[in-house]
Amino acid sequence: MKKHNVVRYLQGKIYGCLLICVMFALGACPTWAAPKDSPWGGDYFPNIELTDQDGKKHKFYDGLIKDKVVAINFIYTHCGDSCPVETANLKRVYALLEDRMGKDIFFYSISIDPKHDTPRVLKEYSERFKVGHGWTFLTGKKADTILLRKKLGLYNSEGEKKLSDHNTNFIIGNDNSGRWVKKTPYDEPMTLAWALGYSLSKNKIMPGGKHAKYTDAKPLPNINKAEEMFRYRCSSCHSLGRGSGLGPGLYGVTLQRDRTWLKRWIKEPDKMLAEKDPIAIDLYNRYNKVLMPNLRLNDSDVEALIDYLDSTANPNRHAH
């Protein structure tokens, strides 16, 4: 028995090492990317040249991440699914850290489609999302950005036959400490802001200046799947009230729109825009041409989400 336990232990260690190598390596594991006992630095990160939305040139390591706390994601501006959600969610994180953006915290969104995403196109995209100082949109040679994604562990190792196959995760890190963490577009904004503003930033505190106590924590609410979907996939652009954000407020939307139309709009907005559906086109133009993302929801998810939206405006309707 002991022999088998030892074998399983060694196998686990080997598989763990291989996994780390696949995520971060182009021929070597991250531990060997810099001198022993020192954080990852210029010897690991490719110092490729990138161009920002204003046409200014930057070296990736020397000009963008050296000595900084950063969030880096990869997008393409005509993406109709994950990219708008990721950008919208990062904008909420940005709002929580706004007083530090461009000072000691920086966001970088790098295009994976340089042929389409020229500096002018990137500038228009950033303006649609009303992005402020400290968040830079960049493009570069395709081979260079693929190399960078591989180094950051953000390249789909199974291959990318089309742009929509790209890895939708992003990475946050601190060059000085050598700490890097992979995140998803659907992580809670406050958690991401805490990681960037406090956990990765030594001797920094979050707005308010006080540490919360566990004894002061409120009980977690009981939320159903539909509410969870709304919180993590919809609330970056929409509120449940009448106020507009990147998209319209959704109060009473189930009373304003035909249910059949609403179901299709939630499930396949990209197809409706391609078909020039008049309501879809009106919403697209009215809300600064920010694409409604296709969240790849199934029919039951869509039905549950619509019922949830209906219940927020009509609390008595679903009381029984």
In the predicted structure, residue 248 carries a pLDDT above the cut 60: yes
Kindly report the CA angle at 192 between 150 and 176, in degrees rounded to 5? 60
Q: At what angle do helices 259-267 and 278-286 cross, to 10 degrees?
A: 60
Q: How far apart are CA 252 and CA 171, in angstroms?
A: 37
Q: Which amino acid is at 203?
A: N
Q: Delimit the CATH 1.10.760.10 region(s) of the chain.
A: 225-313
Q: How far apart are CA 237 and CA 233, in angstroms?
A: 9
The candidate with the shortest Cα–Cα distance to 292, out of 253, 319, 318, is 253
Are 278 and 267 within 8 A, CB to CB? Answer: no
- Chain mean pLDDT for the chain: 80
Put simply, whether the predicted model's pTM sits higher than 0.75 gets the answer no
Q: Delimit the CATH 3.40.30.10 region(s) of the chain.
A: 40-199
Residue for token pair 């009303």: 130
* pLDDT for the residue numbered 295: 82
Q: How far apart are CA 268 and CA 296, in angstroms?
A: 8
Read off the pLDDT band of 244 (50, 70, 90).
confident
The candidate with the shortest Cα–Cα distance to 71, out of 212, 207, 175, is 175
Q: What is the pLDDT of residues 138-156, one digit of tens each?
A: 999 999 999 999 999 898 8
**Topology (CATH) of 225-313:** Cytochrome Bc1 Complex; Chain D, domain 2 (1.10.760)
Query: Binding site annotation covers 17?
Result: no
* pLDDT for the residue numbered 42: 65
Helix (H, G, I), strand (E, B) or coil at 10: helix
In the predicted structure, residue 43 carries a pLDDT above the cut 60: yes
Q: How far apart are CA 226 and CA 216, in angstroms?
A: 28
Are 287 and 293 within 8 A, CB to CB? Answer: no
Query: Binding site annotation covers 79?
Result: yes
Dig out the tokens for 55 from the structure: 């046409």
- CATH class assigned to 40-199: alpha beta
- Provide mean pLDDT across the span 166-186: 87
